[in-house]
Structure 1
């Protein structure tokens, strides 16, 4: 489900009513818990949290004109998706998240490589999302990103 918007607020305004509250709440949690080096913007048609060029001038290797992506948040057709590049790139963080999710949420984790799918929008573990957002700052993400690029 692609939403045409020019700003994050427009993106949220165009969501179905039942999704606005959940997306807005996740957004608040991310803004509160991410390090200040990350910048919120629209990224790939989703709400994005990126390392801006002021912090990482090289940008994203696929298109250096773009800032380095870290987290994206999107309303998909059947779920809310949180794309977290840190869990994709760092196995310890992935295992931590999987274990914590299993111990806190009564239903099975639905996850791809970096995509965490929330189909039950009334059962999104906001506290866990906040903790996940605190686990990696921009400098740590840049170091991990650069290390993975050298392989």
Structure 2
């Protein structure tokens, strides 16, 4: 399921009504907890939080015209997804998140490399997502990205 939108507000307006509140609350959680240096917009047809070209002119190695992605929120066909590039790139951060998740949610963690899937809206751990957002600054993300990708 892709949503074609030019702005975050337009994206949210096109989300199925039963998901609007959860997507809006995820957006608010990320915005309230993400360190300075990231910007919000639309990226890859999702709500995106990225390092802008003004801070990191090289952009994303797959397409340098695109700012460096960090977090995305998406309404997929069967779930809401939170993509976090830091979890994919930093094993210590991944281990922390996996260890903390059961303290917030009773159901099993459904996760890919950077994708955290929420099939049940009631199980979205907003407090934990907020803590996760605080764990990496834009400068730390750039350094980790360059170490892992631009060797």
TM range (shorter): over 0.9
Distance apart, 1:23 and its partner CA: 0.2
What are structure 1's unaligned runs of at least 5 residues?
none
Distance apart, 1:24 and its partner CA: 0.1
Separation in 2, partners of 1:49, 1:96: 21
Q: Aligned Cα RMSD in Å?
A: 0.7
Distance apart, 1:150 and its partner CA: 3.7
Secondary structure at 1:41's aligned position in 2? strand
What are structure 2's unaligned runs of at least 5 residues?
none
- Aligned partner of 1:136 in structure 2 is 136
Confirm whether residue 73 of structure 1 aligns to residue 73 of structure 2: yes
- Aligned partner of 1:103 in structure 2 is 103
Residue deviations 1:19-43 (CA, integer Å, cap 9, x gap): 0000000000000000121000000
Separation in 2, partners of 1:75, 1:149: 28
1:49-64 alignment runs, 5 A limit: 49-64=49-64
Aligned length: 151
- Aligned partner of 1:7 in structure 2 is 7
Runs (4+) off by over 3 Å? none
Q: TM-score, normalised by structure 1?
A: 0.98
Residue deviations 1:29-84 (CA, integer Å, cap 9, x gap): 00000012100000000000000001101100111111000000000011000000
1:81-100 alignment runs, 5 A limit: 81-100=81-100
